[in-house]
Structure 1
């Protein structure tokens, strides 16, 4: 038994990540062992929540991750922690499946975050609607951007039978953002002080907390895949330009038997000579395009690995760095590694978003896409992902020699056999 909450809201922009981070840090400071999860596909919010809680943050999604793997992760967390917090995605009922679906699947009560900055008594109508529409079990409310004690009392009265669990005042300084979401925590000089300040300003009803019911998370033993990558070394790009990957992907490559080694293209490091395969995850190559264009050692080594037939898996930002050129947001054009003929250019609007699956001979490999750039190439796609739940055509998936590249971010545990095949040399 463990205390568990799904922190949700009526929409994006209500302050879910800020509130979840503040609550996690406050509970840690109270001596609680806290594990935080993020509902839906996301890379940046989990980094912030990991910094706030001091523990690894994993993804929960009934489609991408699957109910069985979600259950295994929750079961492990329940054995290690006093509190489980799950930050929802978008609005409580948005998406198929939604955050509400996840809460109901595991019997986790919902803590609603509301932006009270421009409302008072209407908060009650909003929260009752969130509760009753599903319905979901509503544990309470955290009111964000509260102006005063009087404002908080008006909100609390409007909630009727739903407790006001906590409030957070308007912030003079908030977590900074850029086009793909929050700025990475390592880029914020005073991030720990900011998180401590948020925790300190979070008014917290300890009596309401004590009254929260415990959640019974059923035990779910983990399954071990066949070690299809035993004896293989996979070199993974990891630096400020390449850091968007599911931590579970690294866990899965290890479970498949691979030895993982890391290198930094931004530091002009060569691909490790012992690498049997290479993984270039997503990230922000557009913010570091000039440095990447000048990294001759990195560029020559990835070209040599490609010429030698070394399997290379490039996702989103990783693919962008392997095109001929990359145009950043200012319009400046920089030469990239040139393994995938074509030009990448940043766009002012979102160019791809949502859950998708890649058909493979081993079955569907699930994941998502989220990008602001477009690739102009004459290379014919080897396949396309399929959008979920619409089942219409999604992202192009390219194959050029030993390179496989796409804007699609794969969640490796969704299909271990398909994952292993990506990192093994083709027999043809």
Structure 2
């Protein structure tokens, strides 16, 4: 099957800031010229999504070989880029000096087998557990952007820092690059000379050059990013890209035909109608768009509500979703909304399933600790304090093993995802049933050995971000209407305020 779908791989530094200024400049510049650009990332992380969306007008998506596998990546590419004039896939390609032949993976050690079969199960981020994770990781999953370049036949543009180019010290480049995008140009008048250098020594054209913008780079590297300055940033980046861009070269690169097999659907079959309460406001606003679209395909009626402004969860919901966000910035307002807190607790007491990630998971704890100040949370997990960490580190790939049965998955199930660096659970007591009308059998359960996933009755809170289209069994659990619960019984919905709340 031959298709003309404009697409481009953009290789950025592996340890660079997120979002990349070079990527934002290309997206903003092309969007300003009237192109519909869909941005994809090769790591399913939620950092910087708002700025990417402002640059293009489309929510960024993900093609993550480590999570998704080849067929799911192909399907997600076709589905997510169907409306776009150009799909830009951002990731990292190793330079030539780092390209080594794939070695055979070793067999599992006896210690790894023992850890996996033991009652405690262990997490897969320990050395033996990571060996298990790697052992089952196919070559496609370990290839990152390189795997996608091969599968999707992507033209490749490498972002090259201008630092070090003054003395013609040319950096090592990835294999098979079609063009370069210069980043951090301090003297715009040198662009013609740099174009000549790359054309003569590397026989590579220069697509464009982005100015240094030292102030913007400092802000992007900070934890607070560019609060209130996104429009200024994007306007300057678009201007910088367009004043040096070779758009004829770009159109020549992206017109390559695409030979592929007809993609399969990565979304399970429709399972009937169900109602999902989706938290959506300034405090909780970050979700994977593929996940929400998959739930709608399965029959979900997504009903938005605001934990900040509303006084209760939408009625008659089968599932409550609390996404990632910034509860630390709205901690006092959230703590003051006692009606919403009561409604959330009562819903879980009555058996409504609840799933929360990142900032949403933190808010469900007994308390939030932000910059030394302790603010009450929802209190669904007594004895659990969510601590806000100030860091510029990115999300890390992790493998986890569920230690208990939940409605989301069974004991022993292996989960891959990205652990948020911004929150940490401090679990002071995991066996207390707490004051909120829950009987003893509904005590808090630590679902992973690392303590970054907790559960209670039908509530699951995770500091590991899960891309559900890569976990079809979990996605099916979201749509299931009948979920067994060990030791289930009728739970009184009577709610008393958690410590720190007053009625």
- TM-score normalized by structure 2? 0.73
Moved more, 282-291 or 317-326: 282-291
* Residue number in structure 1 paired with 2:350: 308
- Please, which of 361, 365, 368 is the counterpart of residue 323 of structure 1? 365
Q: CA deviation at 1:16?
A: 6.3
Per residue, is there more strand in 1 or in 2?
1
Q: Is the 8 A contact 1:165 1:205 kept in 2?
A: yes
Matched, 1:206 2:247: yes
Q: 1:52-131, aligned counterparts within 5 Å?
A: 52-76=55-79, 79-88=82-91, 96-117=142-163, 119-122=165-168, 124=170, 126=171, 129-131=172-174
Matched, 1:234 2:237: no
Q: Is the 8 A contact 1:8 1:16 kept in 2?
A: no
Matched, 1:44 2:10: no
* Residue number in structure 2 paired with 1:420: 476
SS in 2 for 1:333: strand
* Structure 2: gaps spanning 5 or more residues: 100-140, 403-408, 431-443, 486-503
* Residue number in structure 1 paired with 2:195: 156
CA shift digits 1:142-177 (9 cap, x unpaired): 111212244334533442211111011122652744
Cα gap change, 1:226 to 1:367, in 2 (>3 Å): same
Q: CA deviation at 1:394?
A: 5.4
Moved more, 410-419 or 317-326: 410-419
Q: CA deviation at 1:307?
A: 1.6
State the alpha-carbon separation in 1 of the partners of residues 18 and 459 from structure 2: 40
Q: CA deviation at 1:261?
A: 0.8
* Structure 1: gaps spanning 5 or more residues: 385-392
SS in 1 for 2:324: coil
* Residue number in structure 2 paired with 1:354: 397
Q: CA deviation at 1:426?
A: 3.2
* Residue number in structure 2 paired with 1:3: 6
* Residue number in structure 2 paired with 1:295: 337
Matched, 1:28 2:31: yes
CA shift digits 1:115-159 (9 cap, x unpaired): 3145434562x1xx222xxx3x21211111212244334533442
SS in 1 for 2:239: helix
Matched, 1:410 2:466: yes
Cα gap change, 1:180 to 1:86, in 2 (>3 Å): farther
State the alpha-carbon separation in 2 of the partners of residues 398 and 16 from structure 1: 30
- TM-score normalized by structure 1? 0.84
Greater Rg over alpha carbons, structure: 2
State the alpha-carbon separation in 1 of the partners of residues 156 and 224 from structure 2: 24
Q: CA deviation at 1:78?
A: 5.7
CA shift digits 1:210-249 (9 cap, x unpaired): 4325333334243541333x23211111222212321111
Q: CA deviation at 1:333?
A: 0.6
Matched, 1:373 2:423: yes
Q: 1:278-289, aligned counterparts within 5 Å?
A: 278-289=320-331
The root-mean-square deviation of aligned C-alpha atoms, in Å, is: 3.0
Moved more, 310-319 or 352-361: 352-361
SS in 2 for 1:198: helix
Q: Is the 8 A contact 1:313 1:422 kept in 2?
A: no
CA shift digits 1:82-114 (9 cap, x unpaired): 322112159778993422332233221221112
Q: Is the 8 A contact 2:298 2:479 kept in 1?
A: no
State the alpha-carbon separation in 2 of the partners of residues 96 and 122 from structure 1: 33
* Residue number in structure 2 paired with 1:336: 377
- Please, which of 420, 443, 447 is the counterpart of residue 383 of structure 1? 447
Cα gap change, 1:224 to 1:195, in 2 (>3 Å): same
* Residue number in structure 2 paired with 1:142: 181
* Residue number in structure 2 paired with 1:387: none
SS in 2 for 1:21: helix
SS in 2 for 1:371: coil
Q: CA deviation at 1:59?
A: 0.5
CA shift digits 1:32-56 (9 cap, x unpaired): 3322212211223333222212233
Deviation >6 Å, runs of 4+ = 90-95
- Please, which of 225, 234, 238 is the counterpart of residue 268 of structure 2? 225
State the alpha-carbon separation in 2 of the partners of residues 287 and 148 from structure 1: 39
State the alpha-carbon separation in 1 of the partners of residues 325 and 178 from structure 2: 36
Q: CA deviation at 1:264?
A: 1.2
* Residue number in structure 1 paired with 2:314: 272
SS in 2 for 1:266: coil
* Residue number in structure 1 paired with 2:456: 400
